[in-house]
Chain A
């Protein structure tokens, strides 16, 4: 299985300041069809995972544009341009390039 490694595991951020989370995969996530099936999920306290980003950099419907994704191959980044109070939670990267789906350990974003 592909191993997904996130850093940092905890990210205290000041409201209005940016936050960045990195995710590295143990092998390339480029699928034979040319797509890279790397997603980002947000899990607020007491809530189910909410998909934010698909195929590296595409936002799902309704996701604010302060969330952006980038990367290629094995290294990916989620950025929040200006953290708001509602962004508190745990963020996961997830790969669906190779079966089975695998997830990073999660990065906890909290307000300083």
Chain B
């Protein structure tokens, strides 16, 4: 059974930092391109970041609103993808999901809540 389990969400003050983790199981993680998607009150579902598999260079891409502040990374030895969140803003508040998709599959985790508020 495929599982994606996010953790690390918390209440943090504006300007603060947080690191989210997503532990994967039930599929070959090292072959997967992994994404973070968030659900915010203002924008609904919004793609945030992607990291390709190492065989494809491990390249990372980011949505414009988070460029320079969020960093996606992966550890294939731990089947885990991370999202380092720096210089957090109130508009980053939302539920963060890790997700991966292929031809006939699309897996989502349960999500982890990030609240940015003073």
**A contact set with B: CB distance below 8 Å:** 39, 41, 48-51, 54, 58, 60, 92, 94, 96, 99-103, 105-106
Contact with A105, one of B35, B44, B101, B109 (Cβ below 8 angstroms): B44
How distant is B72 from chain A, measured CB to nearest CB, in Å? 13
- CB-based contact A101/B35 at 8 Å: yes
How distant is A8 from chain B, measured CB to nearest CB, in Å? 15
Chain A residues whose CB sits within 8 angstroms of the CB of B63 once the complex forms:
100
Contact with B108, one of A50, A103, A105 (Cβ below 8 angstroms): A50
A51 CA / B97 CA spacing, docked (Å): 13
Chain B residues whose CB sits within 8 angstroms of the CB of A101 once the complex forms:
35, 37, 47
Chain A residues whose CB sits within 8 angstroms of the CB of B111 once the complex forms:
48
Chain A residues whose CB sits within 8 angstroms of the CB of B108 once the complex forms:
48-51
Contact with A106, one of B44, B101, B105 (Cβ below 8 angstroms): B44
Closest 3 CB pairs of A and B: A103-B45, A51-B106, A101-B47
Chain A residues whose CB sits within 8 angstroms of the CB of B105 once the complex forms:
60
B46 within 8 A of A: yes
A60 CA / B106 CA spacing, docked (Å): 9
A41 CA / B105 CA spacing, docked (Å): 12
Chain B residues whose CB sits within 8 angstroms of the CB of A99 once the complex forms:
50, 61
A92 CA / B97 CA spacing, docked (Å): 15
